[in-house]
Amino acid sequence: MSQNELHDYVLAHRDDQEAFHAYIDKLHAERNWIEMPPLESLQDLENYPEFTKRFRHDSKP
Query: Which pLDDT tens digit goes with each residue over 11-21?
Result: 999 999 999 99
pLDDT above 60 for 47: yes
Instruction: Look up the domain containing 8 and give its range.
Output: 3-58
- Under 8 Å between Cβ of 55 and 36: no
Residues 13, 16, 19, 23: is their CA dihedral positive or negative? positive
Q: How many domains does the chain have?
A: 1
Q: How would you label 5-36 residue by residue, b for 16+ Cβ within 10 Å and e otherwise?
A: ebeeebeeeeeeeebeeebeeeeeeeeeeeee
Provide mean pLDDT across the span 21-29: 90
Give me the phi and psi of 57, to 5 degrees please: -65, -45
Neighbours of 45 (CB within 10 A): 13
